[in-house]
Amino acid sequence: MEQAIIGFHQDEEGHWVADLECGHTRHVRHDPPWENRPWVLTAEGRAPFLGVKLNCVKCDDSALGNPRFAENAK
């Protein structure tokens, strides 16, 4: 399910995480060569991504009745 990014924060390991409008989160790591997202490293780079929609796996699973994320669902 597509959800808009409403903010960003760093996790305990320093990786960037997108805060989604549904209340869930999704990592948006910059970890070359596997994940190349240099925009996430600066506030100026992250700002244009506010409002961009990402797929929320937790919402998808919840809508399908999949208990995989039941303990983390809102």
pLDDT of residue 18: 97
Are 28 and 34 in contact by the 8 Å Cβ rule? The answer is no
- For 40-69, the pLDDT digits (tens) are 999 999 999 999 999 999 998 876 666 555
pLDDT of residue 74: 45
- Give percent of the chain above pLDDT 70: 84
Q: What is the pTM of this model?
A: 0.80
Evaluate if residue 72 carries a pLDDT over 60: no
Domain boundaries, the chain: 2-69
Are 21 and 6 in contact by the 8 Å Cβ rule? The answer is yes
